[in-house]
């Protein structure tokens, strides 16, 4: 996972590393130009030798290496991590070899190791370290006695540079270990935060929903209605209908067949209301066996037609849990008028529901106040 997140084979990181190589070459050229100006009075032969050994050879090597990398980046999608590391070794090595008379130049061999740390991969750091150690050993093996003497006693100087390389490798491994620990801590915190948000969302949803039917509960129904009523102040022509539906003889169902059968009737009725009344503003289990329904932006006829279709759909169900006895609902409907308060809205809808119950059940009544 961490390896994927820090994939240095991406085009973005390839371009960044190439930019670093270009800057590396540019700084070297500037340094050589300054040295050339300082040594101008040393004679023509010295200047020509200096330009050839310290400028032309290393710069040509570096430019060719950079050109090859540019081609690979442009024309291949392969993972070039180790090629970039080898390129860093070639760039550093060419400078060390061509400037072998300058002992401090050996420190440039640390550049590939520093680059390998950016890959956030322990294996790459270890491989790069082995390559750098091999290069230094080969360099000391083939260096002339004069060059080796310039670095001090051969065994001592070799041990020093190898120790520095190993120390740089160890530092890189420590950085990666610490980075991995930080990333793991961050991952755990992110996962924990996601879980907390999911739990909070679940709790919020559960607080808004009726556990049995999955419909909105009493509180969320009123919260939603309040939002609509607030909006109505800015949009007076907004059509709002409130319907209250009640399962007929529900107490008798509970008494005869048990509350578990009553729960099944409630769930089945709620499912049918959801199926037949959508789209509508909101369907809720308002309390007990009563359902509250809000229609927004519908005409009187559209609201009546939908409720009548729902009533007939409920009346057609037969459940084995209540011995296939018919389940029916009574409905009261009222369209809010501009001067009506929230209390008036419920009072009119409840009056219409009472009228449906009183006049035979399994029917819908519309409050007389609906018609202006």
| Residues catalogued as catalytic | 289
The residue to which tokens 């994927």 are assigned: 4
Cα-trace Rg, the chain: 41
Q: Pull the structure tokens for residue 193.
A: 């935060």
Tokens read off for 114: 């520093």
* Structural element, H or E, at residue 340: none
End-to-end Cα, the chain, rounded Å: 67
Q: For 98, which DSSP code? A: H
69, 3 contact by CB (below 8 A): no
217, exposed or middle or buried, with CB in 10 Å at 0-12, 13-18, 19+? buried
Question: What are phi and psi for residue 235, nearest 5 degrees?
Answer: -130, 80
- Using DSSP's 3-state secondary structure scheme, residue 329 falls into strand
Long-range contacts, 25-30 (Cβ 8 Å, 24+): 25/59, 25/62, 25/63, 25/66, 25/91, 28/58, 28/59, 28/62, 28/95, 29/55, 29/59
């Amino acid at each position: 996972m961490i390896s994927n997140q820090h994939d240095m084979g991406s085009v973005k990181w390839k371009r960044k590393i190439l930019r670093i190589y270009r800057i590396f070459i540019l700084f070297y050229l500037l340094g050589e130009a300054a040295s050339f100006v300082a040594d101008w009075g040393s004679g023509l032969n010295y200047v020509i030798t200096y330009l050839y050994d310290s400028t032309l050879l290393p710069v040509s090597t570096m430019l060719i290496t950079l050109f090859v990398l540019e081609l690979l980046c442009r024309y291949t999608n392969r993972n070039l991590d180790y090629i970039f590391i080898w390129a860093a070794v070639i760039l550093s090595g060419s400078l060390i070899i061509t400037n072998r008379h300058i002992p401090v130049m050996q420190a440039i061999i640390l550049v590939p190791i520093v680059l390998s740390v950016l890959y956030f991969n322990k294996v790459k750091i270890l491989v790069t370290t082995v390559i750098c150690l091999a290069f230094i050993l080969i360099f000391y093996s083939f260096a002339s006695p004069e060059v080796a003497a310039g670095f001090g006693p051969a065994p001592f100087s070799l041990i020093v540079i190898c120790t520095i390389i190993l120390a740089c490798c160890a530092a890189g491994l420590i950085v990666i270990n610490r980075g991995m620990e930080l990333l793991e801590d961050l991952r755990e915190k992110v996962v924990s935060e996601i879980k907390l948000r999911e739990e909070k969302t679940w709790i919020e949803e559960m607080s808004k929903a009726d556990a049995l039917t999955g419909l909105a509960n009493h509180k969320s129904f009123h919260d939603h209605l309040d939002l609509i009523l607030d909006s109505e102040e800015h949009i007076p022509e907004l059509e709002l209908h409130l319907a209250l539906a009640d399962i007929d003889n529900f107490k008798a169902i509970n008494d005869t067949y048990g509350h578990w059968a009553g729960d099944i009737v409630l769930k089945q009725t709620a499912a049918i209301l959801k199926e037949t009344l959508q789209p509508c503003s909101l369907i809720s289990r308002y309390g007990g066996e009563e359902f509250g329904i809000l229609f927004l932006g519908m005409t009187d006829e559209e609201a009546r037609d939908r409720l009548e279709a729902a009533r007939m759909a409920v009346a057609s169900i037969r459940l084995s849990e209540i011995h296939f006895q018919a389940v029916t609902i009574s409905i009261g409907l009222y369209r809010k008028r501009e001067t009506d308060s929230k209390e008036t809205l419920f009072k009119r809808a409840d009056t219409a529901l009472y009228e449906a119950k009183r006049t035979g059940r399994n029917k819908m009544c519309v409050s007389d106040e609906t018609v202006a």
